[in-house]
Amino acid sequence: MFAEAWRRGHGAAAGYRYRDLVADPVPPLGAPYVDLGRRVEKRGMVPLDEVAALAADEAERRDWALTLPLVEELRAADTVLIGAPMYNFSVPAALKAWIDRITFPGAYVDPDTETSVLRDTEVVVVTARGGAYGPDTPRHGCDFQEPYLRAYFREHLGVPEDNLRFVHAEMTMAEHLPQLARFQDFAARSLADARAEVAALASRDGRPVGAPNR
């Protein structure tokens, strides 16, 4: 809904990219990625356009060819929208594979200032949760989804705390499971609140959305 509201407000010409990590999954990491990453890491700041020259063989070159477009896509985005269902208290494997792939040594460090190139990037995470994990709920301590993503983007990629937004629709399984049926009103309110919040976020400025989604 965020992406739809943003496109309605700003139009396609403003810039928008969509990536479905389920329909087009990112390959999990293997030895070639790790070996190339360690070689780059030992050299310190290596510009992205020089990494390919450090590949030792065809497997490493192939892995870097898969990685570079994803890194460049993230670096180019002013706003990143992530749609993420909660799986077993955390994030789906498809999203984790994307995270692992884009986390290449030095890829987000400005060599001139040694600060993050994502320091002005906004990240909006919209989640769907079968249960309730908000403050004062019995399972609040089982939420390893928001804390993980918040720590990853803030501590590892350098996105400022003020640029991180999380919107949760909770109890989405209430209408499907008899044991949760009594929470259907809660689920409806949570969904309505989430829709209102993402619409407000999408319409507040005119920056393009980069959307590694799902």
Q: H helices then E strands: how many in the chain?
A: 7, 5
The pLDDT of residue 99 is 98
How far CA 31 is from CA of 35, 60, 69, in Å, comes to 6, 9, 20
Read off the pLDDT of residues 151-179 as tens digits, 9 standing for 90 and up. Answer: 999 999 999 999 999 999 999 999 999 99
Q: Which residues of the chain have pLDDT under 70?
A: 1-2, 5-14, 204-214
The pLDDT of residue 100 is 98
**Running DSSP on this structure, what letter comes out for residue 47?**
-
Residues in the chain, total: 214
14 burial class (0-12, 13-18, 19+ CB within 10 angstroms)? middle
The pLDDT of residue 167 is 96
Q: Where are the alpha helices (DSSP H) in 44-117?
A: 48-51, 58-76, 93-102
Read off the pLDDT of residues 8-24 as tens digits, 9 standing for 90 and up. Answer: 666 655 677 889 999 99
User: What superfamily in CATH does domain 2-28+78-213 come from?
Assistant: Flavodoxin domain (3.40.50.360)
Q: Rounded to the nearest 5°, which phi and psi values hold at 27?
A: -60, 140
Q: What is the pTM of this model?
A: 0.88
Domain range annotation of the chain: 2-28+78-213
Please count the other Cβ atoms lying within 10 Å of the Cβ belonging to residue 117.
17
